[in-house]
Amino acid sequence: MRVYLDNAATTPLDAEVMKTMCNVMESHYGNPSSIHAHGRESRALIEKARKTVANLLHTSPAEIFFTSSGTEADNTAIRCGMIDNGIKHAITTRLEHHAVLHTFEAMEKAGDIKVSYLDVDSKGNIDYNQLESLLQNNERSFVSLMQANNEIGTLTDIVRVGDLCEQYNAIFHCDTVQTMGHYPHDLGKLKIHFLTCAAHKFHGPKGVGFLYINHKIKIKPFIYGGAQERNMRGGTENLYGIVGLAKALELAYAHMSEHQAQIQSLKSYMIAQLKADIPGVEFNGEIAPDTSLYTVLNVSFPETDMADMLLFNLDIAGISASGGSACSSGTDIGSHVLTAIGASSTRPSVRFSFSKYNTQQEIDFVMTKLKDLFAVKA
């Protein structure tokens, strides 16, 4: 048996998405920017996909811009959102994805902005009072906070953050790469200015995402070279990827409740089995259903002399997962997230992440291999 539990990295492509994309590949090869019939047919498919995404998110198609990835969307939101709106102060955490952190670091190093980092507790929760204080005591700020952490799964209350940003006239960018397609997003109600997505996190294709830009915010293009995406992103559109993204999101919304119940059940089952069968096991981040992303479980195992080889040994045993440990020194390349929450640098950590395709039988298989690796007697 081979078990795939690295869905936070990427998910398998849904068969219906594959079928939809293949049909387009076979019959629609015109450049969407061409004015002839072949081009117009391709353009129509892109605009249909845009409308599908917008309808699911309760927003206008004019506010959805397709990108090559969540990383491009994050970079566009941060750089253009700050520079084009004359904002010099950013607020974020040290738990964010590197697409966010490295962008802020580069801008601060260039002297363009100043970055304030919110404190987080040992579970990765932000300090909302500190956020309000920073908003209150600085000029207009740009707030960038992910809805769910990609490594430990802790959720941020983006409704509360949005309300605070509105109160203090701040711009709010929310990285929803891990939550899009797993939770509903009503952009008609959420007070968010920029929102980012990557299709391959909800059984869509790699190499495509989108950026939502609230109509109240104006920015210049991040990528120049053509009039695509209503003059906002140069480059021939990834027609097949865009169609696949829309189909994947449509399927995710249609079956969201049942998939959430199924996956949460698997996560809860694995938590119970780990507690019962691996003495000394601990969990990084929140694990309660209302405070934790149901697709992610980050586990700290007891100290072992095979810590550096744990992921390799899991791979050999037929289990695909990811993880590592906190940095033990300034030169270590460990998890910046685990380091930020003060996790032990001597305990190996593994992120198990689930999808609709996983089964309880697979969790039982994983537990059997884990007990073998940690020499737990039955």
CA distance 273 to 356: 20
- Catalytic one of 22, 165, 174, 327: 327
Distance CA 152, CA 123 (A): 8
Provide the edge-to-edge strand list for the sheet that holds 209-213: 64-67, 209-213, 194-198, 171-175, 141-144, 89-92, 114-117
Burial classification of residue 288, based on how many CB atoms lie within 10 Å of its CB (0-12 exposed, 13-18 middle, 19 or more buried):
exposed
Distance of CA 252 to the CA centre of its chain: 15
By DSSP bridging, strand 319-320 and strand 64-67 are unpaired
Q: What is the DSSP string of 79-118?
A: HHHHHTTT--EEEE-TTS-HHHHHHHHHHHHTTS-EEEE-
Q: Which two tokens stand for residue 79?
A: 């750089």
Q: Categorise residue 64: left if φ over 0, alpha if ψ from -120 to 50, beta otherwise.
A: beta
Backbone Cα Rg of the chain: 21
Q: What is the DSSP annotation of 144-189?
A: E--SB-TTT-BB--HHHHHHHHHHTT-EEEEE-TTTBTTB---TTT
- How many angstroms separate the CA atoms of 278 and 360, rounded? 18
Q: Does the annotation count 327 as an active-site position?
A: yes
Q: Which residues are catalytic?
A: 327
